Amino acid sequence: MTLADETRWLDATAQADLVRAGEVGPTELVAAAIERIECDDPVLNSVIHRRFERALDEAAAPTLPDGPFRGVPFVLKDLWAASAGDPIHNGMAALKAIGYVADADTTLVSRYRRAGLVFVGRTNTPELGILPTTEPDAYGATRNPWDLSRTPGGSSGGSAAAVAAGLVPAAHASDGGGSIRIPASMCGLVGLKVSQGRISLGPLRDESGLGVEHVVTRSVRDCAAFLDATHGPGIGDSVIAAAPTRPYVDELGAPVPPLRIGLLATNLRGPTDPECEAAARAAGALLASMGHHVEEAFPSVLTDDSFAAHFGALWGANQRISMARVGHIIGRELGPQDVEPLTWILGQRAAELTAVDYAEALAANSRFRRAAQQWWADGWDLLLTPTIACLPPHIGEMAQNPEQPLAPIFRAADVAPFTPPFNTSGQPAISLPLHWSAEGLPVGVQLVAAYGREDLLLRLASALEEARPWAGRHAPFPA
C-alpha cells in the first residue's frame, strides 16, 4: 500500500501528527495528495488550478511555518480567496480568458500559510458562487464522489468533492447563502458557517454582508482546529465577533448540559424529500436520547414571506458589485457575452434598484436578524433542521438557459430553503453527516446556535460524532 493510500482517509489533525512525530515529511504528504489528485480528479473535476511544483517546493523549504498543520496538503476555493502568484477566476470565463493571477494573499489565506498548510491547488466553483451546484461554463461540472451523476453542491462544491473523495483532508470553503453547509450535506462532511465577523474577510470584502469563510472537513476536531488557527479580526474589519473564552478544540468531548432544541423538519414553502425530513427527526430523537429537550418549534420570523425578496435584493446587488470588480480587473465593463445568463439577469435587475430600494432591503434584513436572534434570547439553545430539502440534484438540473435565465435560481430555492436565513441573521450553523438515504447518499442535518456560539455547536457536534460515528463511511470512489 502506498502512502497515498495510507493517508487518504486521515483527517488533517492526524496528518499533522504524522509530521510532528517525524513519521512522514511534509514533502511526502504533499506528494501523496498530488498522486491522488492526478489519479482520481480527472473524473471529479474538483481541482481546476494545480500548483504541484510550487507545493512541493514550499513543503521542502526550511521556511515552511511550524504551525498546527505543518505540511498538510490543502486546497483553496477559487472564489475571492486569493493566493499570491496563483490564478483566481471566481468561476468566470472572462477571468479565465485573460489568465488572471492574484498578486497578494487575502488575510485568511495568509493565516492558512502561517498554520503550515501547503496549497496543492484551487477548487471549482459556480460563477461568482451564485448557485448550490458546481457547473460553471468556464470549467465544467464537478461530480459528487458518492454518485458521479449528481452534483456535490455549491458553491464550495469543488472543495467538498475533493475532501469527500479523500484527495485532501480538508479544504477552504465560503458561505453566502449555504455554500459551506449545502455541499457538506451532499458530500457527507462537516461544514460550519461561522458567525458574521468571526473570521476576517480582509482586505477586500466586508464582514457586514452575507458571506463568511471557513472549511469543509471530515471530522469535528479538524473543524475546531482550523477555527482556532484562523479566527479573529483583520485590519479595518467592520464586524468583529467576541473572542472565544478558550480554544475551540477544548470544546471537543466537553460535557454538554441539557439543551432546549427546536425542531423544524420540513420546508415552510415547498416540498421536503422524506429522507431529509427523516434525517432531522432522527437527529432530534438522538438528541432527546442524550438528555436534551427537543420539540417542534422555530423562530416565527422564518414564516415571513418578504424574506426572499429582501435577501434576493442584496444577493443580486452583491453579484452586480462583483461584476464591476471583475470588469475593473479586465479593463472594461462586462457584457452579456462575458457571463452566464443567470449572472447577467441578476446584475441587470440589481442595476434597476434605487438607493432607497437597497436601503429598504438592508433595513428589512436588520429587522429579520433581530427577530431571528430574539428566539435564542428567549431561551432556546439550538434550532435543528435538515440542511437541504432534497437529495443531491443530478448534474444539469440547474443548467444555464438563455431562454429562462432565472430557472436555476428558482430550483436553488427549492434545494436550499433552510440555509439563507442564517446568513442574514449572522448566526453560526453547522451541517453534520448523521444520515444516509436508502440508496447510500449522505443527508446532512443543520444545527443553528445563537450569535457567537460556535463553542456550543462544536461541543454538541463532537458528542454527536461520538454517538453516531461517520468516520468509517467513505464515498465509493474511486471504485
300 is catalytic: no
Show the beta-strand stretches assigned E in 218-359.
260-263, 293-296
Alpha carbon distances (Å) from 92 to 137, 332, 340, 402, 410 = 8, 15, 8, 17, 21
Euclidean distance between the first and final Cα of the chain, in Å?
16
Based on the number of CB atoms within 10 Å of its own CB, is 253 exposed (0-12), middle (13-18) or buried (19 or more)? middle
Backbone angles phi, psi at 343, to 5 degrees: -60, -45
77 is catalytic: yes
Catalytic residue among 46, 77, 193, 200: 77
The alpha-helical segments, DSSP class H, found in 127-273 are: 157-164, 181-187, 220-230
**212-217 and 170-175 as β-strands: parallel, antiparallel, unpaired?**
antiparallel
- For cell 433542521, name the residue: 385
- What is the rounded distance in angstroms from the CA atom of residue 429 to the CA atom of residue 437? 22
Backbone angles phi, psi at 384, to 5 degrees: -110, 130
- What is the rounded distance in angstroms from the CA atom of residue 123 to the CA atom of residue 44? 11
Helix (H, G, I), strand (E, B) or coil at 170: strand
Catalytic residue among 46, 83, 155, 462: 155
Rg (CA), the chain: 21
Helix (H, G, I), strand (E, B) or coil at 134: coil
174 is catalytic: no
Catalytic residue among 179, 200, 219, 431: 179
Q: CB-based contacts of 375: which residues, under 8 Å, 6+ apart?
A: 262, 298, 299, 300, 301, 383
* Catalytic sites, residue numbers: 77, 155, 179
